Amino acid sequence: MHSNSGPSPVTDKTILLIIGGGIAAYKCLDLIRRLRERKIRTRVVMTAAAQRFITPLSAGAISGERVLTDLFNLDDEREIGHIRLSREADLIVVAPATADLIAKMAGGHADDLATAVLLATDKPVLIAPAMNPRMWLHPATRRNVAMLQADGIAIIGPNSGEMAERGEAGPGRMAEPLEIAARIEAMLANPTLDPAATAPTPRGSLSGRHVLVTAGPTHEPIDPVRYIANRSSGRQGYAIAAAAAQLGARVTLVSGPVELADPAGVKVVRVQTAAEMLAAVDIALPADAAVFAAAVADWRVADAATEKIKKGKGGTPSLSLIENPDILKTVARRAEIRPALVVGFAAETERVLEHARAKRKSKGCDWIVANDVSPQTGIMGGTRNTVHVITADGVESWPEMAKDAVAEKLVARIAEHLVLGQADV
């Protein structure tokens, strides 16, 4: 498949993931999987406390690497060594970063493999705090965090919400794997940026937001058994809906006819035609963000037959076509209950960027996600995608990746935009 943007700037990069001893350690298994999807090599160090929650076997099976746990293991030190381990990675990530681990980092302790690695490294460090809200808000933790930030340590989260303990809620939940993966990707792609420049903090979450997504083709009837359609599988739209739900959004997915399972935690409204899709979109509004990934048929038959059209009766039938409603344009140019962010898709077969820029202006949407759906790309109906995100400020071309990864990256951008009010990606 051809990509105009060349290889990903994060492909074949290596991170060292230090897993701390908190209940959120289980999320690191999903984080490792997300990083492997992005072709980011992940080596793992686990503290003794982390091994009370997940096993080195689990982390090693997913990462495909041997998990290291002991500073005083002579075989490990002889083969790798904590000094070499601390400097071979492009980025060190601590997740979950417990109150104890943060305190040790701030104090310069080095009494186990994790803290020795952190003290010996000369590479960027990202921590994802996770602890009880009172521990996070305690003056000692606040001092330790401020000290780490002054030392140039990047921090993501914590998010707010219910804790593992019954009746406990507030700031202290570890950022979700999708948020952390997006932050890691940004730091690896831009290693010279100030740590605060790519920090989504708790605002990266979509909790309390409503996201509307359309997906799949529409079927425009010719007669009761025939219809006009296209080759859209709906996979990209479904992946976007799933990614938004994983970041805590309330998601409404308006779907044309597809053969896909409903994403977990998503309200799915199934329709057949473009007119039905527009009606369902109207009912679903208002929304904070709307992503129109559906491949809506541009035309429909003016007078669909009520009975099956038979061959041999009056020769070849003539079909009179009329335009379908333009759902993206209708919502984007609506004065009332317009979502704060309207994202359209442009599936093109030639002059992709030129057509996509023109479409963004003519439709009145904020962003256009453009891709080349020529038959040779295999994108229409396939599992991978190569996209360009067009905004008022320019174009960001992403490398070829799985549609799930495209969805995660796009949703991370949407979350950042909704909180920060940014006009770009």
Q: For residues 125 and 92, is the Cβ–Cβ distance under 8 A?
A: yes
Q: What is the pLDDT of residue 271?
A: 97
DSSP 21: S
Residue-level pLDDT at 381: 65
Contact present, 155 and 129 (Cβ < 8 Å): yes
Tokens of 39: 């072709």
pLDDT along the chain (425 residues), means of 10: 47 90 93 91 94 93 90 58 76 95 94 91 93 88 89 85 65 86 84 54 66 96 92 92 89 96 92 96 96 95 89 78 95 91 90 92 95 75 84 87 87 82 47
Q: Which helix (H) or strand (E) holds 353?
A: helix 352-363
Cβ density class 284-323: b for 16+ within 10 Å, e for less = bbebbbbbbbbbbbeebbeebbeeeeeeeeeeeeeeeeee
For residue 5, the model assigns a pLDDT of: 41
In contact, 334 and 283? CB cutoff 8 Å? no
Count Cβ atoms below 10 Å from residue 338 Cβ, excluding itself.
16
Q: How many CA atoms lie within 13 A of 16 on its CB side?
A: 26
Do residues 198 and 281 touch, judged by C-beta distance below 8 A?
no
Q: How far apart are CA 319 and CA 301, in angstroms?
A: 6
Location of structure tokens 């309200």: 267
Phi, psi of 171 (to 5 degrees): -70, 135
Show the domains of the chain with their CATH numbers. 14-204 (3.40.50.1950), 210-420 (3.40.50.10300)
List the catalytic residues.
Answer: 230
Structure tokens, 136: 């996070």
pLDDT at 201: 37
Distance between CA atoms of 64 and 388, rounded to whole angstroms?
31
